[in-house]
């Protein structure tokens, strides 16, 4: 009796196991093909940075015959070093200001009962809905009027203002979960709010602060529209706009441009690989809730 | 008394955030509504009241309509490939691949998303190049040479080539959002389903898809509102050409304001973008409020 039930069941499982292993193989092949399609253009970019123009046109798919590091040096000297430095300054400063301004606000909103808390929350929430493009033209006038057009400060201020909402909500969601015990202990020890913020809340919030800083760095490093419109001086351009300007300067020496693109890609790829877990935590806290 | 006074100084802690938002985000957006009713340019800023003239000019401008169409195309394709593709990809990775290999694929797919659109835009300009580009080279190699194009140089193909680049860059990003959502689904649900004889495909449609529904909606909203703000890659790859065929609302706004010196007209385009993205955000807000799925 048990056997008659078991046999078709056994056959069914075998059939399924076979179907499943075929399905698995097909899926793996697709995953690998996709991975190659994603990575190959980047490898191509890297390899082309070492070619001569003749090689690039003669054999676009091939490996360079010699590794011409000179292209990278040339790209570096043609402006990449300048743009890289500008990007580091603007990104670094806006990460500090954004995280600080947001953490202060998140602390006040989560750990204290402040006047107008509801209205302030709505204001912050609304800030997430307003896109940089929509504010572009009035900002052009405003920045000229207050005299910071064509300065690092313009970008730092705007990168902070347009990201402060997202970052406050990101940090707030984490601070809400912190227990009050450490804070209460610090109050008993006579600490004031400023000390509590720096010595208790910020250290406890470290994981989300790191995530917030990484997401802000990613945003500021790649931001294009503000950097295009509000920076005129060639010396102040950040990478996304500077590379575009470089395209005109290298003329037909394309391998140098490939080298420039490769150099420009490296910092963010390294940052992502180093902080992958924090990146993904930030995304999941920011969008997953 | 002391405690009532004590609440007010805390406002100083939120003051920087509020001030930045009011001055650099809210004020410009409101001011933009006003400016769209004037005719003015960047260097002789005497504003001339023109009422709704900028808006009627908008409706008569073929480039405005083709730009809007391009944004819509961007949104539709991105929802299919990034949201649909990202969902399937996340499910396949979560379900089939284990351990290090899973992390490897996830990392590889995500990498393009951290690159500047200027980098990927310039890279794909070369990819689409008729002489050295890999796209035509690939078509030749697989015997589809008849389908070769000067992808960015022809009005019929330019915007689609740009959209395709964007899918390449962003599918990994949306996939990671789905992976995050899927990791919250308890494994027991799948184990129970498989014991009951469910196939993987059934598990995907009956368990995974319903339980990541909110993330699907959220990813759709993010993708759609992102599609109406597209500017960077278009400006880098074609600057709206050839013959204005690949403009989006963003690049047409930029060109109208800073090349054609029609600031009021550009402000009117910004209002259109504002209305569309605001609508998307409101839908997102409603979805976030109405979270009801229980695991």
- Count CB neighbours of A271 within 10 A: 16
**Gap between the Cα atoms of A214 and A262, Å rounded:** 21
CB-based contact A104:B9 (threshold 8 Å): no
Let me know whether A184 and A124 are in one domain. Answer: yes
In chain B, DSSP finds a helix count (H) and a strand count (E) of: 17, 2
Let me know whether A146 and A214 are in one domain. Answer: yes
Q: Is residue A62 part of a domain?
A: no
What pLDDT does residue A12 have? 65
- For residue A240, pLDDT over 90 is answered with yes
Q: Distance (Å) from the C-alpha of residue A113 to the closest C-alpha of chain B?
A: 7
- For residue A41, pLDDT over 50 is answered with yes
Let me know whether A29 and A131 are in one domain. Answer: no
**Gap between the Cα atoms of B224 and B174, Å rounded:** 12
Let me know whether A123 and A255 are in one domain. Answer: yes
Q: Distance (Å) from the C-alpha of residue A233 to the closest C-alpha of chain B?
A: 16
Residues with Cβ within 8 Å of residue A94, at least 6 apart in sequence: A155, A156, A159, A160, A163, A216, A220
Residues with Cβ within 8 Å of residue A209, at least 6 apart in sequence: A99, A103, A171, A202
What pLDDT does residue B8 have? 83
Q: Is residue A258 part of a domain?
A: yes
CB-based contact B41:B262 (threshold 8 Å): yes
Q: Any bridge partners for residue B48, and if so which?
A: B39
What pLDDT does residue B286 have? 82
B177 vs A56, A168, A283: nearest CB: A283
Average pLDDT, chain A: 90
Q: What is the mean pLDDT of each run of 10 residues along chain B (295 residues)?
A: 63 96 97 93 78 94 97 97 96 88 93 96 94 88 86 94 97 94 91 89 91 90 94 96 95 96 95 94 77 46
**Gap between the Cα atoms of A77 and A246, Å rounded:** 11
Q: Distance between alpha carbon B168 and the CA centroid of its chain, in Å?
A: 13
CATH number of residue A124's parent domain: 1.10.3720.10
Residues with Cβ within 8 Å of residue A115, at least 6 apart in sequence: B7, B8, B11
**Gap between the Cα atoms of B7 and A105, Å rounded:** 14
Could you say which DSSP state residue B38 is in? E
**Gap between the Cα atoms of A113 and A122, Å rounded:** 16
If one counts the domains in chain A, the total is 2
Inter-chain touch B109–A243, beta carbons under 8 Å: no
Let me know whether A82 and A204 are in one domain. Answer: yes
Q: Is residue A21 part of a domain?
A: yes
What pLDDT does residue B45 have? 64
- For residue A64, pLDDT over 80 is answered with yes
Let me know whether A191 and A92 are in one domain. Answer: yes
Inter-chain touch A287–B222, beta carbons under 8 Å: yes
What pLDDT does residue B199 have? 86
Domains of chain B: 64-116+152-289 (1.10.3720.10)
As a residue count, chain B comes to 295
Distances (CA, A) of B184 to A289, B133, B180, B188, B295: 11, 42, 7, 12, 9
What pLDDT does residue B284 have? 78
Poorest-confidence range of A168-172, A212-216, A263-267, B141-145? B141-145
B24 vs A113, A161, A229: nearest CB: A161
Let me know whether A186 and A228 are in one domain. Answer: yes
Poorest-confidence range of A55-59, A154-158, B243-247, B248-252? A55-59
Q: Which residue has the higher pLDDT, A154 or A59?
A: A154
Classify the phi-psi angles of B197: left when phi > 0, otherwise alpha if psi is within -120 to 50, otherwise beta: left
Q: Is residue A54 part of a domain?
A: no
Mean pLDDT of all residues in A25-33: 92
Inter-chain touch B116–A221, beta carbons under 8 Å: yes
Residues with Cβ within 8 Å of residue B150, at least 6 apart in sequence: B128, B130, B157
**Gap between the Cα atoms of B39 and B275, Å rounded:** 21
Helix/strand/coil for A187: helix
Let me know whether A43 and A96 are in one domain. Answer: no
A188: domain range?
A: 78-287
- For residue A1, pLDDT over 50 is answered with no
Let me know whether A14 and A149 are in one domain. Answer: no
Inter-chain touch B111–A222, beta carbons under 8 Å: no
CA neighbours closer than 13 Å in the CB half-sphere of residue B165: 32
Let me know whether A160 and A83 are in one domain. Answer: yes
Contacts of A288 in chain B (CB under 8 A): 177, 180-181, 184, 215
- For residue A109, pLDDT over 80 is answered with yes
> Quick one: what percent of chain A has pLDDT higher than 70?
94
What pLDDT does residue B17 have? 97
**Gap between the Cα atoms of B232 and A243, Å rounded:** 12
What pLDDT does residue A174 have? 92
> Quick one: what percent of chain A has pLDDT higher than 90?
68
Mean pLDDT of all residues in A33-56: 94
**Gap between the Cα atoms of A35 and B104, Å rounded:** 10
What pLDDT does residue B264 have? 93
Inter-chain touch B20–A264, beta carbons under 8 Å: no
A60 vs B10, B117, B137: nearest CB: B137
A164 vs B17, B218, B281: nearest CB: B17
What pLDDT does residue B291 have? 54
Q: Are strands B38-39 and B48-49 parallel, antiparallel or unpaired?
A: antiparallel
**Gap between the Cα atoms of A154 and A227, Å rounded:** 9
Let me know whether A39 and A96 are in one domain. Answer: no
Contacts of B278 in chain A (CB under 8 A): 129
Inter-chain touch B114–A241, beta carbons under 8 Å: no
What tokens were used for A238?
A: 């950040």
Q: Is residue A86 part of a domain?
A: yes
Q: Is residue A283 part of a domain?
A: yes
**Gap between the Cα atoms of B72 and A214, Å rounded:** 31
Let me know whether A94 and A36 are in one domain. Answer: no
Poorest-confidence range of A43-47, A177-181, B63-67? A177-181
What pLDDT does residue A11 have? 65
Own/partner pairs for B92-97, CB < 8 Å, 24+ apart?
B92/A27, B92/A30, B92/A31, B93/A31, B93/B175, B93/B179, B94/B179, B94/B182, B94/B183, B95/B200, B95/B203, B95/B204, B96/A24, B96/A27, B96/A28, B97/A28, B97/A31
């Amino acid at each position: 009796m048990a056997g008659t039930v078991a046999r078709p069941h056994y056959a069914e499982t075998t059939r399924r196991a076979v179907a499943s292993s075929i399905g698995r193989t097909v899926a793996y092949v697709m995953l690998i093909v996709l991975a190659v399609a994603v990575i190959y253009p980047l490898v191509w970019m890297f390899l082309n940075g070492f070619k001569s123009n003749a090689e690039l046109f003669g054999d676009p798919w091939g490996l360079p015959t010699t590794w011409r590091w000179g292209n990278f040096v040339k790209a570096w000297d043609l402006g990449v070093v300048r743009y890289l430095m500008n990007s580091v300054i603007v990104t670094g400063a806006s990460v500090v200001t954004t995280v600080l301004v947001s953490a202060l606000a998140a602390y006040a909103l989560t750990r204290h009962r402040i006047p107008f808390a509801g209205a302030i929350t709505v204001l912050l929430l609304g800030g997430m809905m307003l896109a940089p493009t929509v504010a572009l033209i009035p900002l052009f006038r405003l920045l000229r009027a207050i005299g910071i057009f064509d300065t690092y400060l313009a970008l730092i201020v705007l990168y902070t203002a347009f990201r402060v909402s997202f970052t406050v909500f990101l940090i707030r969601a984490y601070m809400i979960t912190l227990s009050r015990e450490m804070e209460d202990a610090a109050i008993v020890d006579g600490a004031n709010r400023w000390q509590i913020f720096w010595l208790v809340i910020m250290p406890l919030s470290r994981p989300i602060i790191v995530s917030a800083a990484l997401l802000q760095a990613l945003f500021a490093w790649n931001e294009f529209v503000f950097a295009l419109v509000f920076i005129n001086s060639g010396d102040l351009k950040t990478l996304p706009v500077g590379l575009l300007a470089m395209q005109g300067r290298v003329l037909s020496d394309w391998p140098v441009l490939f080298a420039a693109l490769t150099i420009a890609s490296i910092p963010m790829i390294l940052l992502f690989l180093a902080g992958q877990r924090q990146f993904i935590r930030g995304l999941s806290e920011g969008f997953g809730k | 008394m002391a405690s009532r006074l004590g609440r007010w100084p805390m406002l100083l802690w939120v003051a920087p955030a509020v001030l930045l938002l009011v001055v650099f985000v809210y004020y410009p957006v409101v001011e933009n509504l006003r400016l769209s009713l004037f005719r003015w340019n960047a260097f002789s800023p005497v504003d001339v009241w023109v009422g709704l003239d900028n808006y009627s000019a908008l409706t008569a401008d073929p480039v405005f309509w083709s730009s809007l169409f391009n944004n819509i195309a961007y949104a539709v394709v991105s929802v299919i490939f990034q949201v649909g593709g990202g969902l399937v990809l996340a499910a396949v990775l979560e379900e089939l691949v284990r351990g290090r290999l899973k992390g490897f694929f996830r990392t590889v797919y995500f990498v393009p998303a951290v690159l500047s659109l200027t980098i990927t835009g310039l890279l794909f300009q070369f990819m689409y190049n008729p002489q050295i580009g890999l796209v035509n080279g690939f078509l030749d190699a697989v015997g589809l040479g008849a389908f070769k194009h000067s992808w960015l140089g022809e009005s019929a193909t330019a915007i689609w080539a740009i959209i395709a680049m964007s899918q390449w860059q962003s599918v990994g990003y949306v996939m990671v959002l789905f992976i995050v959502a899927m990791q919250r689904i308890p494994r027991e649900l799948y184990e129970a389903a498989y014991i009951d004889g469910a196939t993987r495909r059934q598990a995907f449609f009956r368990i995974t898809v319903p339980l990541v529904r909110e993330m699907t909606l959220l990813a759709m909203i993010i993708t759609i509102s992102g599609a109406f703000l597209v500017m960077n890659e278009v400006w880098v790859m074609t600057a709206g050409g050839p013959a204005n065929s690949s403009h989006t609302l963003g690049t047409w706004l930029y060109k109208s304001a800073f090349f054609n010196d029609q600031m009021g007209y550009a402000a009117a385009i910004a209002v259109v973008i504002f209305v569309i993205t605001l609508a998307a955000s409101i839908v997102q807000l409603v979805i976030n409020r109405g979270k009801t799925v229980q695991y």
